[in-house]
Amino acid sequence: MATARRGTIRRWRGRVLFSVRGRTTIVTVTVSALILVLVFVLLMLLTQDWLENRVWRRSEHTTERVAADIVRGRSAAALVTEPDETRLVQVITPEARVVAASEALRDDPPLVSEETIKGKLLVDRRSCPDFMDDCVWIFGTRLRTSPWGPGVLVVSATPMPTLINVWLLPVGVSLIMAALLALIAWWTWHTIGRAFVPVDEIRAEMVDFRARGLGHRVPVPRAGGAIQGLAETVNDTLERLEEATDRERRFISDASHDLRNPIAGLQTRLEAALGEPDDYEWRPMVESALRDAQRLNEIVVDLLELSRLDSRAPVPVERLDLAALTRREVERRPAGVPIATDLEPGVPVRANPVRLARVLGNLLSNAERHATDRIEVTVARDGAEAVLEVLDDGSGIPPEARERVFERFARLPESRSRDPQGTGLGLPIAREIAEIYGGTLRIVDSPVGARFVLRLPIPDEREDRSGNGESPR
């Protein structure tokens, strides 16, 4: 029982002190308590001031009424106080001698001393006489004539209020404020708890991902706000992770398939060569094995390039003239399908020259596989973009397959028939490089053949001056 109690205490201590819900409640209650204490102090000061004003008015009213009765000749009845008046009244001579007093002050010394009233026509002050338990507010006025002679002072005194005297008010206010603090604490704890219910549901659903897989989605609350945005972001992230996992799975499957064929062919040819007699003409078999090895090398090189692109490792970049780079790459191509160029000079881009040359090489290799008689390459400026187009006069690519050719290892039937040894990675690599440098690579409509359009941003002078020579991605 004691162990369970200690465990419960530790659990609640953790919830109160270390959880967002608990810390928020503590901060809210603390701030509210400080505000309520300030309100309490101000309320008590205002109450004290109001009570003192009430006491002063009571003393003033009593003095004025008694003085008026004495002046009218009703001195005998003047000192009989009314219910709304103070019961402490004295008539004091200039020598500070009491000549008349109300019942409550009979036989008591004067409320004010001779030094206090000497030469004064009006007394309005707080006083704490020795013969009284409480301090009083004294209001007095001097009469020119009276039954007791000239210059007497009519004085009324009302006990000063204290919060002890009116203890019910501070106690009541304190109880109300304590109730408000309790209500604030409960409301904050309850509200924060309800606000985090969707978060707890999201966490509980994410715990089950190992059993349910990435195809599972967390519930999305429809109340709007940050939590709905969090749930939608989690689901979007899960969707991207699922797509990335599926893409990786397909990638591994396709890579294994493409690697298996040349490896099997190479192994078969080498085993066959070893089984032949010593005088066997082995050169054609070795040449075939060499082609398989070259294909393996091409696949491995493409896979390594894709790995580097996926990691977004920074590589050196520089300002390039796209037309000059294109001219060099076209001139390096082996003799084959004629390539016509229309290159606008002075179209700059910022990129790694090796990677950009690979993009152009992959586009030209693809065009050479499908072209019939001619390939056209153009470079031009289009506003703030540099545009490179590669057009062949082949059979073209159907609109529904234009995005599929950019998938890894995806190859159309015509491509397989024209180049059985292709890897299906050239165009995906080209698009990845284009996107790394903030550009795009798309297939657009063309009257004949396939038109690949590469667009890259043209850097301004400030970007060139502030560039650090490293790719940002």
Burial grade of 84 (CB within 10 A; 0-12, 13-18, 19 or more): exposed
Question: 89-133, pLDDT tens digit by residue?
Answer: 888 888 888 888 888 888 888 888 776 677 788 888 888 888 887
Three-state DSSP at 170 gives helix
Work out the average pLDDT over 330-355. Answer: 89
What value does the mean pLDDT take over residues 269-275?
72
Average pLDDT of the chain? Answer: 79
Domains and CATH numbers, the chain: 1-195 (3.30.450.20), 225-307 (1.10.287.130), 313-466 (3.30.565.10)
Query: What is the average pLDDT across 210-238?
Result: 71
Of 75, 55, 59, residue with least CA distance to 67: 75
Q: What is the average per-residue pLDDT within 37-61?
A: 85
Angle, helices 225-275 vs 197-207, to 10°: value is: 10
Q: Which residue has the higher pLDDT, 295 or 128?
A: 128
Could you tell me the two tokens for 216? 């599972």
Which pLDDT tens digit goes with each residue over 22-47?
778 888 888 988 998 898 888 888 88
Beta strands in 110-228 (DSSP E): 122-127, 136-142, 153-159
The band of 261, judged by pLDDT with boundaries at 50, 70 and 90, is low
**Strand 88-92 vs strand 98-101: parallel, antiparallel, or unpaired?**
antiparallel
pTM: 0.49
Res 472: pLDDT: 46
Separation between Cα atoms, residue 55 and residue 156, nearest integer Å: 11
Q: Which two tokens stand for residue 418?
A: 């024209």
* Interval 177-198: pLDDT, tens: 889 888 988 888 888 777 777 7
Report the percent of the chain where pLDDT is more than 90. Answer: 13
Provide the pLDDT for residue 439.
Answer: 92
450 CB-contact burial (10 Å; exposed 0-12 / middle 13-18 / buried 19+): buried
pLDDT of residue 360: 92
pLDDT digit string (tens) for 403-448?
Answer: 888 887 776 666 655 555 556 778 888 998 999 899 999 999 888 8
